[in-house]
Structure 1
Amino acid sequence: MDKKDLFDAFDGFSQNLMVTLADIEAMKKQVQNLLEENTSLRIENTKLRERLSQLEHETVSKSLNQGKEHLENIYLDGFHVCNSFYGQRRENDEECVFCMGLLYRE
């Protein structure tokens, strides 16, 4: 190989290295953008999970309160809501200790 061929080979190799370096820089920038987006999405996901948990807790509380209200209405209509006599009419609207314990326990 003569000197000109050797110089041309080095020149071509140098050009290939420059192109490869530019590709690496572009890939590096793309990875950086992806990492930033990933971090942003993780933060958003955490906030959404917290909000979802809060809403689920509120929904459970509401449904428990609504269930208790329905039982109170049934009891006020003159029917038992306790396990022992559920659905039976309370005679003379007398209070039932079991129903009261169920309705007003904490």
Structure 2
Amino acid sequence: MDKKELFDAFDDLTQNLMVTLAEADTLKKQFQQLIEENTQLRIENTKLRERLGQLEHEKQAKNSTQGKEHLESIYEDGFHICNSFYGQRRENEEECMFCQELLDRG
């Protein structure tokens, strides 16, 4: 190999290294963007899970309240809501200590 061929080989190698370096820099930037996006999605996912938990808790509380209100309305209509006499009419709309216990518990 003569000197000119050797310098040409070095120039080609330098050019190839510069192209490879530019590609590596592009890949590095893309990787950083992916990491940032992944972090944002993880944070958003955590916040959404927390909000979903809140909504489920609120829904359970609402359902519990609605159930109690339903039992109260049945009792006010003159029927038993206790396990012993459920659905039977209360005579003269007298108070039932079993029904009252259920209402007080809820």
Aligned letter for 2:94?
A: E
The CA distance in 1 between the partners of 2:32 and 2:54, in whole Å, is: 33
Moved over 6 A (4+): none
Number of aligned residue pairs: give it. Answer: 106
Please report the TM-score for the alignment, with normalisation by the length of structure 1.
0.91
Please report the TM-score for the alignment, with normalisation by the length of structure 2.
0.91
> Which runs of no fewer than 5 residues in structure 1 stay unpaired?
none
The CA distance in 1 between the partners of 2:2 and 2:83, in whole Å, is: 103
Secondary structure at 1:67 match in 2: helix
Deviation per CA, 1:42-89: give whole Å up to 9, x if none: 222222222221121111111100000000001111111111111111
The CA distance in 1 between the partners of 2:9 and 2:82, in whole Å, is: 94
Secondary structure at 2:81 match in 1: coil
> Which runs of no fewer than 5 residues in structure 2 stay unpaired?
none
The CA distance in 2 between the partners of 1:99 and 1:56, in whole Å, is: 29
Aligned position for 2:105: 105
